[in-house]
Amino acid sequence: MTALLIRMLAGVNTLANAAGNLLQSPVAACPGWLSLTVMSAGAGVLALLVFKHTSNQKAIGRVRDEIRANLLAVKLYPDSFSVAMRSQARVVAGAFRLLVYSVVPMLVLIGPVCLLLAQMGTWYQARPLRPEDGQVTVKCIMSDRLDSLPQVTLDSLPAAPLLAGPVRVTGKREIYFKLQPLENGNHSLVFRVGDGRYEKRMTIGKGFMRVSPLRPGASLGDVLMYPLEKPFTSGDPIQSIRIAYPTRESKIYGTDWWVGYFFLASMAFAVLCKPFLKVRI
């Protein structure tokens, strides 16, 4: 079952990658804070429209009117304990009903939002390698189905010559290589295990480029989080390949920070646009 889900998600990632290229290319030359703000604003408005068309807006409107009426009753009869208690109970019940009405839109949105975050993560979660970085570590994790670690070699790549390796850590089934990034662009590292040929994408350059730190294996979470490369299968001798890309330094669009900014900015734009789009939440 898991293998089937991974294959399905890998197919969805292929479409999402194409869409991500189209959506991100218009803002590729913008500063990081601006590109992230533009994409967050667009996501917030789209989510608002999805909520509008997948929720029962009339029912939400009625519940909100009832909540306002009960809050008004509390203000009008401050000396009546029974009125205050009944009104507050109805406010709580109304809030719960609003939560129930939001379940369907949230279920509709959760999948696209996860795919969107994965695509945005290829830009903001790490920065590309640079020649001035000096060296980078590449880690291959071998399959636990192997009886022993096989010989793994890396084809020569002028854009990133080999400095050291392979270094084998038998107890952890890990094999390490150290490379020196020299030439800007997207390059393909070619690993050979026996007669098999296995590739890993390496990105060198400045500014914003789509980065894939991990070529995942048979892990549903990893396939979702790292969508740019086709996952290894359970039958491959390599379980995953990771490149230690540097973190992106910024309190807005930097590593991990960008996720919080995305949610705050998208919610802010949704709130600002709510009256104009006539959406009840």
Q: Does residue 78 surpass a pLDDT of 80?
A: no
* Residues contacting residue 78 through CB under 8 Å, at least 6 positions apart: 84
Q: Does residue 125 surpass a pLDDT of 90?
A: yes
Q: How far apart are CA 26 and CA 60, in angstroms?
A: 37
Query: Is the sign of the CA dihedral 183, 185, 190, 191 positive or negative?
Result: positive
pLDDT in tens, 226-257: 999 999 998 899 999 999 999 999 999 999 99
Q: Reading across the β-sheet that carries 196-204, which strands appear in turn?
A: 152-154, 185-193, 196-204
Report, as an integer, the average pLDDT of 151-174.
Answer: 92
* The two three-digit tokens of residue 160, written as one number: 């990133």
* Whole-prediction pTM: 0.89
Which of the four pLDDT bands, split at 50, 70 and 90, describes residue 141? very high
Residue 29 confidence (pLDDT): 84
Lowest mean pLDDT among 60-74, 79-93, 115-129: 79-93
Give CA separation, 136 vs 9, 161, 163, 182, 244, in Å: 30, 11, 9, 11, 6
Report, as an integer, the average pLDDT of 85-93.
Answer: 88
Residue 209 confidence (pLDDT): 92
Q: Does residue 28 surpass a pLDDT of 90?
A: no
Residue 76 confidence (pLDDT): 81
Average pLDDT of the residues of the chain = 92
pLDDT in tens, 175-226: 999 999 999 999 999 999 988 999 999 999 988 999 999 999 988 999 999 9
Residue 144 confidence (pLDDT): 86
Encode burial over 106-143: b for 16+ CB neighbours within 10 A, e otherwise.
Answer: eebbeeebebbbbbbbbbbbbbbbeeeeeebebbbbbb
Residue 174 confidence (pLDDT): 95
Q: Does residue 26 surpass a pLDDT of 90?
A: no
Which of the four pLDDT bands, split at 50, 70 and 90, describes residue 145? confident
Q: Does residue 81 surpass a pLDDT of 80?
A: no
